[in-house]
Amino acid sequence: MKALLVGDIVGKPGRRALTDLLGGIIDRHRIDYVVVNIENSAGGFGITPKVAREFDELPIDCFTSGNHIWDKREGIAVLEADPRFLRPANYPDGNPGSGLYVGETAAGIKVATINLEGRVFMKPLDSPFEVADRLIAGLDDRVRVILVDFHAEATSEKQALGFYLDGRASAVVGTHTHVPTADERILPKGTAFQCDLGMTGPYESIIGMRVDKVLRRFKLHSPGAFEVAKRDVRLAAVIVDIDESTGKARGIERLLLSHEES
């Protein structure tokens, strides 16, 4: 089977690119399962019910997120209403939503998606390593395909989790930094890995935001609102070819596609 994992959707430009390009990618590459990170999809920060309804119209099987999933209060209702919308599993108990979703392909292949957040340069959450152990151990034996979105800052922490789960997860891919990395590979025991998928959004920007707004923050060190940029919009993703009988990855291909209307 083939899984498509799409990097952080940033604002309306990212949503438009996903809407316009996703169907063609699925048809051209014969994709069986789609996972999309949506934590920056509503104005660059968080999710809203309205934006979630937009995604509902697309052929997406699971939605992952990260630290910005909490940025819009109305987005909490999305986590509570639909189990396909995940938040990182290593947030403390008592938070709404879940960090694990088990779906299946049209052919009936069960697929587990696990969402985790890093701790280096981020919040002191529960250990993503220990939480991953627990979630994987709790899966039904029939679930062989396991996809992990590790929303983390440090490449070293992402690589560490990749090797830690090598042979137990079909793919471990990083999100959060919005910069696609050129290190896609199959690890020794059969796990597909890439440090960061990159963002689906405007690349004439500073990680998706207008350059002038971000430069002002860096120069003056005073508060100022960010704004999603608009130009050079691209979709960033990977395609992972997986042996569904073993859960091992056979290949990984990096995508960075231009949205021609941008």
What is the token pair recorded at 81? 């209403």
The CA distance from 203 to 131, in Å, is 34
Q: What percent of the chain has pLDDT over 90?
A: 98
pTM here is 0.97
Give the active site residue among 68, 176, 178, 259: 68
Provide the CA 2 distance to its chain's centre, in angstroms.
Answer: 16
- Label the pairing between strands 192-194 and 185-186: antiparallel
The CB density around residue 37, as the number of other CB atoms within 10 Å, is 28
Please give the biggest Cα pair distance in the chain: 55
The chain-wide mean pLDDT, for the chain, equals 97
- 42 and 72 in contact (C-beta within 8 Å)? yes
Whether residue 29 lies in the annotated active site: no
CATH number corresponding to 2-202+231-258: 3.60.21.10
The CA distance from 163 to 155, in Å, is 12
One-letter amino acid identity for 93? Answer: D
Provide the CA 70 distance to its chain's centre, in angstroms.
Answer: 15
For residue 224, what pLDDT is reported?
87
For residue 261, what pLDDT is reported?
56
The CA distance from 86 to 98, in Å, is 6
For residue 180, what pLDDT is reported?
98
Residue range 19-60, pLDDT digits in tens: 999 999 999 999 999 999 999 999 999 999 999 999 999 999
